[in-house]
Structure 1
């Protein structure tokens, strides 16, 4: 069975109308599969933005303009006095205390800052009360779930990484990324902001209805009031563009003559940074937006400077030490240096970690490695 056949069968079983998938290696692209959408269709990348913004931050670390381990509050005053939730009063208000140590850029890049997402962490949602307006600074100001470095909680940390990129570079995040990451890589269709999409190529988002069928569900990930550019989820793009990004990382920071990062920087980003903490477990407070998911439940997954890392071989084919992440509308990528494989799979539906979408991802991965071997 070809990869396309496996993907088509899995999409049909899941009731998902289409996907664009690509497979590549250090030398080039080996597969482009478009089912139900054009190959150059534009998707909301959502949290696949995080890896791009993490690369931007690491460029500034290389340049000496950002420091992984200095208190980030020196650069971003909003983070200078972090407070940790200790419990809740009888009236329901959060009880807080000063954090035991400052937040650093390393904490932000590894999701060990203590900041989560309301839709993942019940205590954070409870502490914040009524959900703040998306796109406002208030939406990313929050007490911490734990002291920086003491736990792993997926959330808004990368939005603050984006603000650190702006403060250190003196440029807007969109301008910096275009000049230093997406521009050099020739990612011409990848931008911040849904309004920049070619509407004729933009894939409409869907959501599971009460009967399990998919229905149209317009959403603007990373949009809102526009008080800041969302480094955690604001980009749109194509599979071909993202393939160039992951191939750059597979090649140690360079692609087709464009040098984005030094090889030693990519190696550091690819190393587990969180010790024995477990990454990749996401609860849910909003099942319509995101299902509960536990990546690699059979092992203690790690996290690098921007990526989930499986320390052992995965059940569906990827080798130990692979890097990966995803976006809330069920967009996925992985980078497997040991096997010389990179892959991108873009769908556009909610909730995140929809069982049907996860089955498509697993079938795609198995087919990729069946062909590779």
Structure 2
């Protein structure tokens, strides 16, 4: 048993995580790692703790963002939409958004119109000024002043109606850009995001078990891995209650009417790895995107202001863990599809690797230089959980070791061109 598997098994035995599904594969499929470890639920009684399956359905949350970005680039290829034109033609609701500048002494917000346009490029790279209100103290104060709770809204436009937090293009803040990008897809194609993805992303890869509306798929509900939570006072994880989940806007418990391209999908790891692999081989396969589009998807996009905003966020340990877990001090940028690691990491991911995650502690990577992609998937809150991050890093480094031992060509540090 590999050292990382032993570490995961120990964590499972100690009730630190319920279990996880692990996948990794290389370009030509000569190296494939696929395992499900642990149990599907920590809900008592013991009889309910069935073994976790590789096909278990999970809320993949922000792993939805990559799928939305791929679909956007398909439409860019066809000249249906543009990365750099204002999106107001199709989403006029964004044009009146103001920038929150602060608060007056009486608590009233100070706001001013934005001058730089909101574009698709800025939506996908989190440089539009939009933010998830739960992550921004100013927006939380703004909501409190107006007596609003957007998290209870089932309509995308109402749910993400908080003001901008900076002038578009000048900084970086994790936010609702991909959700609006999904709405853009719907408006230009006249299809729901689920319908578009089914036709143009999932079916071409032989996937039939991803959805934005789990309640409409009882066949998938039967396979769902239950959510677990960790009490801050204990290292042990327990079954998550409805109250636990409400704190994290868990999509499966809310009457969401719209497809949320930034956070709404449910999928098994066995399906999601097919999407990662399709990107890995896209320079020759082009099943999803043309080679040039994939290059753009991976290309670092941030201005100096954007890099500073991203670096500030990465100082928060939980945020760093939740966004792919780049090594401390590593230079990072953001591409259209996720965070890009700019330099080689010791014993693992190479410069140019794109990474991202999902709220219940899922993390994926696509390393085109090493020719390897992988996914660590579980259902544990809070996001950015330290134990899950520790196990994810152990898995990733262990997979690189197994790949190299199998004869896979992992370039040595300093030998990349």
> TM-score, normalised to structure 1's length?
0.92
Q: Deviations over 1:245-299 (max 9, x none)?
A: 00000011676xx721101100111000113333365489xx9xx9443643403
In 2: Cα distance, 1:50 partner to 1:254 partner = 24
Shift of 1:160: 0.1
Q: Deviations over 1:162-211 (max 9, x none)?
A: 00000111111110011100111112211112322623310000111243
- Correspondent of 1:55 among 70, 75, 96: 70
Shift of 1:315: 4.3
The answer to whether the Cα contact below 8 Å between 1:18 and 1:35 also exists between their aligned partners in 2 is yes
Structure holding more helix per residue: 2
Moved more, 346-355 or 74-83: 74-83
Tell me the equivalent position of 2:9. 8
Q: Give the unaligned 5+ runs of structure 2.
A: 39-51, 405-417
Shift of 1:107: 0.3
Aligned pairs, how many? 367
Tell me the equivalent position of 2:352. 321
Shift of 1:316: 5.3
SS of the residue aligned with 1:119? helix
Tell me the equivalent position of 2:24. 23
- Correspondent of 1:126 among 133, 141, 165: 141
The answer to whether the Cα contact below 8 Å between 1:84 and 1:145 also exists between their aligned partners in 2 is yes
1:206 corresponds to 2:228: yes
In 2: Cα distance, 1:81 partner to 1:321 partner = 37
Structure having the higher Rg: 2
In 2: Cα distance, 1:281 partner to 1:238 partner = 32
Matches within 5 A, 1:91-170: 91-129=106-144, 130-132=148-150, 133-136=152-155, 137-170=157-190
SS of the residue aligned with 1:363? helix
Shift of 1:334: 0.3
Q: Give the unaligned 5+ runs of structure 1.
A: none
The answer to whether the Cα contact below 8 Å between 1:334 and 1:343 also exists between their aligned partners in 2 is yes
In 2: Cα distance, 1:260 partner to 1:253 partner = 10
Q: Deviations over 1:299-319 (max 9, x none)?
A: 331111121101011245111
List structure 1 runs of 4+ shifted beyond 6 angstroms. none
In 2: Cα distance, 1:238 partner to 1:78 partner = 34
In 1: Cα distance, 2:395 partner to 2:153 partner = 34
The answer to whether the Cα contact below 8 Å between 1:48 and 1:327 also exists between their aligned partners in 2 is yes
The answer to whether the Cα contact below 8 Å between 2:101 and 2:110 also exists between their aligned partners in 1 is yes
- Correspondent of 2:300 among 260, 272, 288: 272
In 1: Cα distance, 2:189 partner to 2:366 partner = 28
Moved more, 221-230 or 206-215: 221-230
Shift of 1:54: 0.8
Tell me the equivalent position of 2:287. 259
The answer to whether the Cα contact below 8 Å between 1:85 and 1:96 also exists between their aligned partners in 2 is yes
